[in-house]
Amino acid sequence: MSVYIGNHLSSSGGFLAMGKAAMALGADTFAFFTRNPRGGAAKEIVPEDAEALIKLMKENSFGVLVAHAPYTMNVCAAKEDIREFSRNMLKEDMARMEYLPGNYYNFHPGAHVGQGSDVAIPLIADAVNNALTEDVHTTILLETMAGKGSEVGRTFEEIRAIIDRVELKDKIGVCLDTCHIWDGGYDIVGNLDGVMREFDDVIGLDRLKAVHINDSKNEFNTHKDRHELIGKGFIGEDALKAVVRHPALQGKPFILETPNDDEGYALEIKTIRSWMV
């Protein structure tokens, strides 16, 4: 039984530095923002730096990486300028990801800000179709959301509706965030198998590519989205252990997004590794 495990790392020192930082924490995958998460400005990529990371990952049997789009991205925004800015960012990020081919790029489907999901879903799919071309070697992942505000992607049905409209089906998948689905109303504490079955029925487990493993500061179904340290929140250690050990999730990259420093991440990575036996 094994999954890949890592956490969000700062990309300020470049690619190879992230690979080394991951190894220092005991990780064999990691997440990083493709650009400033709150702004959107992107640093120049040094091709040799990307190649050095690819080499390090190969030599140390890393799993697939899970890049994260900036929070400012909202491809279904009501305002056209925000929508255009976001669509362009998504497209540009696909070009940037080509320096690290074969990895994942996770993004929040977006907030419909009053337009309703019916309007938002085709806009999201259209932005993905605009970004994905035959020569893209990245799989875009839609992240399951908590349903805070007007977030799209709280229900498996909404995620499915977006995927249905994506043209290049081999380049679209889902990243399951444990804090988000718990806050969003999927009871992974009381009925993990049932939730996984529902995911399979509605979306298909073959689309589930990565996991954000977080505990939650909130009780079930509160639609809030506040991450907690592993084992310290309302999801708890037993339920998170069952997620790590779930047969459908073996071999996937698991990313910690817990409120932590390096020492805390190293400890959580160690704990999660101890669950893999």
Minimum distance, C-beta of residue 239 to Zn ion, in the bound complex (Å): 17
For the window 202-231, what string marks contact with Fe ion as x by the rule CB under 5 A?
A: ----------x-------------------
Q: What does the alpha-carbon distance between residue 182 and residue 112 come to, in Å, rounded to a whole number? A: 21
225 binds, among Fe ion, Zn ion, none (CB under 5 to 8 A by kind): Zn ion
The pair of structure tokens assigned to 197 is 């079955």
83 binds, among Fe ion, Zn ion, none (CB under 5 to 8 A by kind): none
* Binding flag, residue 28, Zn ion (CB under 5 A): no
Closest chain position to Fe ion (CB)? 212
Q: Pairing mode, if any, of strands 66-68 and 104-107? A: parallel
Spell out the residues 6+ positions from residue 67 whose beta carbon is closer than 8 angstroms to its own. 31, 32, 33, 34, 93, 97, 100, 103, 104, 105, 106
Provide the b/e sequence for 164-201 (b: ≥16 CB within 10 Å).
Answer: eebeeeebbbbbbbbbbbbbbebebbeebeebbeebee
* Binding flag, residue 268, Zn ion (CB under 5 A): no
* Binding flag, residue 154, Fe ion (CB under 5 A): no
For the window 129-148, what string marks contact with Fe ion as x by the rule CB under 5 A?
A: --------------x-----
212 binds, among Zn ion, Fe ion, none (CB under 5 to 8 A by kind): Fe ion
For the window 220-249, what string marks contact with Zn ion as x by the rule CB under 5 A?
A: -----x------------------------
Among residues 28, 151, 177, 183, which is the contact residue for Fe ion, using CB under 5 A?
177
The pair of structure tokens assigned to 145 is 């959301």
What is the separation of C-alpha 129 from the centre of its chain, rounded to a whole number of angstroms? Answer: 19
* Binding flag, residue 28, Fe ion (CB under 5 A): no
Q: Pairing mode, if any, of strands 215-216 and 227-228? A: antiparallel
Point out which residues bind Fe ion (CB under 5 A).
Answer: 143, 177, 212
Point out which residues bind Zn ion (CB under 5 A).
Answer: 225
